[in-house]
Structure 1
Amino acid sequence: MSRAIYFDHDGALDDLLSLALLTRYRGIALKGVTVTPADCLIGPAVSATRKILDVAGAHEVPVAEGVLTGPNPFPLEWRVDALRADALPVLNQRDPRTLVSELPAHEQLAQWLLAAPEPVTLLMIGPLTNLAWCLDEHPAVEAKIAELVFMGGAIDVVGNVDEPGHDGSAEWNVYWDPGAAHRVFASRIPITLFPLDATDQVPITPEFAQSFGRTYGAPLGDLAGSLLAMTFGCFETSGFAYCCWDSLTTSYLAEPELCEFEDVRCEVLTTGPSQGRTVRSDTGRVVKCARKVDVEGFYRHCLETLTATPEFSTQ
Structure 2
Amino acid sequence: MTSRTARRPVLFDHDGALDDLLSLLLLTQYDTVDLRGVTVTPADCLPAPALSATRKILELTGLPHVPTAVGELAGRNPFPLVWRVDALRVDALPVLNRREPATPPVAPSTTTAAGPPAGALPAHERLAAWLLEAGEPVTVLATGPLTNLAWCLDHHPEVEARIEEVVFMGGALDVPGNVDQPGHDGSAEWNVYWDPEAAKRVFDSSLPITLFPLDVTDRVPVTTAFAHAFGRHYGKPLSDLAGSLLALTFGTLETTGLPYCCWDSLTTSYLAEPGICDFDVVHCDVVTEGAGQGRTVRDAAGRPVRSAVAVDPDRFYRHCLDVLTR
Contact map agreement 1:52 1:91 (CA 8 A) in 2: yes
Q: In structure 1, how many angstroms separate the alpha carbons of the residues matched to 2:32 and 2:253?
A: 36
1:235 alignment partner in structure 2: 253
Q: Which has the higher contact order (CA 8 A, sep 6+)?
A: 1
Contact map agreement 1:53 1:98 (CA 8 A) in 2: no
2:305 alignment partner in structure 1: 287
Q: 1:172 aligns with which of 170, 180, 190?
A: 190
1:33 alignment partner in structure 2: 38
Q: 2:27 aligns with which of 16, 22, 27?
A: 22
For 1:82-121, list aligned pairs within 5 A. 82-99=87-104, 100=106, 101-121=119-139
What is the aligned-residue RMSD (CA, Å)? 0.6
Cα distance, 1:88 vs structure 2: 0.3
SS in 2 for 1:16: helix
Cα distance, 1:98 vs structure 2: 3.9
2:149 alignment partner in structure 1: 131
Q: In structure 1, how many angstroms separate the alpha carbons of the residues matched to 2:169 and 2:142?
A: 7
Structure 1 residues 131 and 215: alpha-carbon distance in aligned structure 2, compared to 1, 3 A threshold: same
Work out the percentage of aligned pairs sharing the same amino acid: 69
Contact map agreement 2:26 2:324 (CA 8 A) in 1: yes
Cα distance, 1:283 vs structure 2: 1.4
For 1:251-270, list aligned pairs within 5 A. 251-270=269-288
Contact map agreement 1:70 1:177 (CA 8 A) in 2: yes
SS in 2 for 1:163: coil
Cα distance, 1:177 vs structure 2: 0.1
**Does residue 198 in structure 1 map to residue 216 in structure 2?**
yes
Cα distance, 1:95 vs structure 2: 1.8
Q: In structure 2, how many angstroms separate the alpha carbons of the residues matched to 1:296 and 1:118?
A: 35
For 1:31-110, list aligned pairs within 5 A. 31-99=36-104, 100=106, 101-110=119-128
Contact map agreement 1:203 1:244 (CA 8 A) in 2: yes
1:311 alignment partner in structure 2: none
Contact map agreement 1:48 1:86 (CA 8 A) in 2: yes
Q: In structure 2, how many angstroms separate the alpha carbons of the residues matched to 1:299 and 1:97?
A: 32
Q: 2:162 aligns with which of 144, 151, 164?
A: 144
Q: 1:185 aligns with which of 203, 206, 222?
A: 203
Contact map agreement 2:32 2:271 (CA 8 A) in 1: no
Cα distance, 1:94 vs structure 2: 1.3
SS in 2 for 1:77: helix
Structure 1 residue runs of 4+, over 4 Å off?
Answer: none
Question: Residue 249 of structure 1 aligns to which amino acid in structure 2?
Answer: T
Cα distance per residue 1:35-65 (max 9 Å; x no partner): 0000000010000000000000000000101
1:313 alignment partner in structure 2: none
Greater mean deviation of Cα atoms: 101-110 or 192-201: 101-110
Contiguous gaps of at least 5 residues in structure 2: 1-5, 107-118
Q: In structure 2, how many angstroms separate the alpha carbons of the residues matched to 1:220 and 1:28?
A: 18
2:324 alignment partner in structure 1: 306
Q: In structure 2, how many angstroms separate the alpha carbons of the residues matched to 1:46 and 1:27?
A: 24
Contact map agreement 1:62 1:98 (CA 8 A) in 2: no
Question: Residue 104 of structure 1 aligns to which amino acid in structure 2?
Answer: P
Question: Residue 225 of structure 1 aligns to which amino acid in structure 2?
Answer: G
Cα distance, 1:122 vs structure 2: 0.5
SS in 2 for 1:23: helix
Question: Residue 5 of structure 1 aligns to which amino acid in structure 2?
Answer: V
Contact map agreement 1:63 1:98 (CA 8 A) in 2: no
1:212 alignment partner in structure 2: 230
Q: 2:7 aligns with which of 2, 11, 31?
A: 2
SS in 1 for 2:120: coil
Contact map agreement 2:12 2:37 (CA 8 A) in 1: yes
Q: In structure 2, how many angstroms separate the alpha carbons of the residues matched to 1:32 and 1:260?
A: 28
Cα distance per residue 1:128-162 (max 9 Å; x no partner): 00000000000000110000000000000000000
